[in-house]
Chains A and B, each alone.
Chain A
Amino acid sequence: MELFDNIAFGFSVALTPTTLLYCFIGVTFGTFIGVLPGIGPLATIGLLLPITFHLSPIEGIVMLAGIYYGALYGGSTTAILLNLPGTAASVVVALDGHPMAKAGRPGPPLVMTTLVSFVAACFAIVIIAAFAPPLARFALRFGSPEYFSLMIMGLLGAAALVHGSLLKGLAMVVLGLLLGMIGLDLTTGIERFTFGSVHLADGLSFVVVIIGLFGLAEVLNNLAMGSARPNVAQRIGWRELIPNREDLKTSVMPTVRGSALGSALGVLPGAGAAIASFAAYAVEKRVSKHPERFGKGAMEGVTAPEAANNAAAQCSFIPTLSIGIPGDAVMALMLGAMMIHGLVPGPGIIENHPDFFWGLVASFWIGNLLLLILNLPLVGIWVRMLRTPYHLLYPTILTFIAIGVYSLHRSTFDVLLVTGLGVAGYLFIRLRAEAAPLLLGLVLGPLLEQNLRRSMLLSRGDPMIFVERPISLAFLLLGALIILVVATPAIKGWWADRFGRAARVGGPTSGPG
């Protein structure tokens, strides 16, 4: 059977002692660097990337896969423990993972993310082998209008997910899109919003924005809260690390749903892991009998996005490789690394380099397995980081932010930028305007403009092209549906009630009320 032949072939490529060793090294280093606060998965992969260039393409790619998974896992660890998400996808995991850690149960979400990642990887590998050829063919039918509408849908979804006002979420998306315009416009060669600075010609670095808006802003917020700051540094017994039966039971269906959703969204080019995890979170919230627990430490809010994230990350390799459009910033980095190894993504890569394609898929699975073996005993070490008093932790985070950001391009300008973005991010926290939708807008901005331009060129300036093409129309209708559902009076009332109260606790206007 072709399905299992392909998988078996992949394992025969990825399961040699040397590749296994490189995968192991990649996972270990990826986790170690990725778990350092202020250094997200992107920075981690970026820093470790040069090592893989000394290896053969297959070994290099397998080690890269290990680094990728280690970095992502390290990223969700810091997201859960310190609320320092390194990617848009781990922003979602932190929504419920961090409250659980704050509530004195940091172990279970950490263990469950590893476990769920592995389950999702098992799921995704079968999906890829079974559906890679037909799905790639389907995705190939997408033209610019479909890409554009798909991105609009993703952005509307991100705006709908925010705590509080939908309008503010939409405004943050638009602001993100505008920030994405910064730098050289590749179509016309004109520099936009650079204010004459050469440092901004390449645009705002995604990593710098993430570290500023999430890392630094969070430090500022914690410091300003002073004694009102929630105490996360409590003693945790080893036994409490292990997820209880309840955790496992409540995670089964979310994991399945998350994996399915992640696989489905992952194969759509441009969607990527971030949209998948946002969507999985929204779905869990919707199907839950107790949606009010979300944002306060619901296990489903951790496991479903994590499963979706991992499934999407793997499945997004099909369109990423066959069309050449990365789903997110991490994918873009991986794509760049493959090209350095001489593997140029294009329609023929599965046929021409089956050893590479299936080897990569298999090594993702192996990377996840190694992560599971490596991390179950090490979770306790990550948890102990929580017991570090904040007056020791925050100067450490600041140091790593400063050096980490500097090391990206060896530019002190980036450190200045991160300082400004940190202050802006803190302002957003105070104004109760969430920054996560902004991030998605920033990443998708240039891609959105490119596809809008192409579509409008195709239709000679007629915007009807987006509703005349059925796939494009379907994406737009889905986007409208998301907005309609969120704006329904009943849900709006519940939403406002829940977040209104939650936001006032420790919020800027927390007077007597």
Chain B
Amino acid sequence: MPIRVRIREPEDCLSGLLFLFLGVGAAIIALNYPIGTAARMGAGYLPIMLGGLLALLGAIITLKSLDFSAAADDAPASSGFGAELRRVMRPLVFVVAALLTFVYLLPRYGLVAAVIPLVLISALADHRPRLLMALPLSIGLAVLAVLIFVHGLGLPIRVWP
């Protein structure tokens, strides 16, 4: 008979796996560095130990999140997962897109041409975007940014394209 396992705490299970993955990854990368001895530690010594410790903690967190005694039929229902995903992805996608656009535009076309798209794209991240408000806001923020950072703080940033 197969062992039935139920995930009791999904957050703990996932974060444990994440720590496990990061710890193992860090330790493997650090194996490339000289380890040295306890008295004369190389660059790899502490990272390998910490990576191992993180992996161990991750494994314990994951194991503790599992319930080995449970019957399989009371597994949590996964209904509403699609809606939840949409709810989460929308801000994530548009905020990241807005910042990437800013990174692309700033060195090439200056502050004003970078701030306006940043604000407009990030306005789409809200679940009920108010695009009519976004345009004046973007212009206002571009002006404010120039006033504070370029004129006020004297940062050498190009303003116009």
Q: Is the interface of A mostly helix, strand, loop or mixed?
A: helix
For window 387-410 of A, CB contacts with B under 8 Å fall at: 390-392, 394-396, 398-400, 402-403, 406-407, 410
- Chain B residues, Cβ within 8 Å of A287: none
Is B5 interfacial (CB-CB < 8 Å)?
A: no
Is A293 interfacial (CB-CB < 8 Å)?
A: no
For window 146-161 of B, CB contacts with A under 8 Å fall at: 148-149, 153, 155-157
Per-residue CB proximity of A364-408 to B under 8 Å, as 1/0? 000000000000000000000000001110111011101100110
A188 to chain B, nearest CB (A): 5
Is A67 interfacial (CB-CB < 8 Å)?
A: no
- Chain A residues, Cβ within 8 Å of B149: 403, 407
Say whether A224 contacts B87, CB under 8 Å: yes
- Chain A residues, Cβ within 8 Å of B4: none
Is A31 interfacial (CB-CB < 8 Å)?
A: no
- Chain A residues, Cβ within 8 Å of B96: 419, 423
Other-chain contact of A399, B19, B30, B145 (Cβ < 8 Å):
B145
Per the bound structure, the CA–CA distance linking A19 and B51 in Å amounts to 50
Is A253 interfacial (CB-CB < 8 Å)?
A: no
Other-chain contact of B118, A47, A219, A399, A449 (Cβ < 8 Å):
A399
Say whether A395 contacts B123, CB under 8 Å: yes
For window 1-48 of B, CB contacts with A under 8 Å fall at: 10-12, 14-15, 18-19, 22-23, 26, 29-30, 33-34, 37-43, 46-47
Say whether B46 contacts A449, CB under 8 Å: yes
Say whether A175 contacts B22, CB under 8 Å: yes
Per-residue CB proximity of B108-141 to A under 8 Å, as 1/0? 0001001100110011011101100110011001
- Chain B residues, Cβ within 8 Å of A187: 41, 43
Say whether A398 contacts B118, CB under 8 Å: yes
- Chain A residues, Cβ within 8 Å of B80: 511
Interface residues on A, range: 35 or more
Per-residue CB proximity of A398-433 to B under 8 Å, as 1/0? 111011001100101001101100110011101111
B125 to chain A, nearest CB (A): 5
Per-residue CB proximity of A248-287 to B under 8 Å, as 1/0? 0000000000000000000000000000000000000000
Chain-B contact segment, one of A102-110, A177-185, A302-310: A177-185
- Chain A residues, Cβ within 8 Å of B58: 171
Interface residues on B, range: 35 or more
Closest residue to B100 on the A side, CB-wise? A419
Say whether B103 contacts A171, CB under 8 Å: no
B94 to chain A, nearest CB (A): 9
Is A349 interfacial (CB-CB < 8 Å)?
A: no
For window 50-81 of B, CB contacts with A under 8 Å fall at: 50-51, 53-54, 57-58, 60-61, 64, 80
Per the bound structure, the CA–CA distance linking A174 and B42 in Å amounts to 19
A71 to chain B, nearest CB (A): 14
- Chain A residues, Cβ within 8 Å of B38: 456, 461-463
Say whether A391 contacts B123, CB under 8 Å: yes
Instruction: List 10 extra interface pairs beyond A224-B91, A403-B157, A419-B103, CB under 8 A.
Output: A167-B60, A167-B64, A175-B22, A219-B91, A390-B126, A394-B125, A395-B134, A402-B118, A403-B115, A431-B18
A residues engaging B (CB < 8 A)?
A: 36, 47, 165, 167-168, 170-171, 174-175, 177-178, 181, 185, 187-188, 190, 192-193, 216, 219-220, 223-224, 226-227, 390-392, 394-396, 398-400, 402-403, 406-407, 410, 412, 415-416, 418-419, 422-423, 426-428, 430-433, 449, 452-453, 456-457, 459-463, 508-509, 511
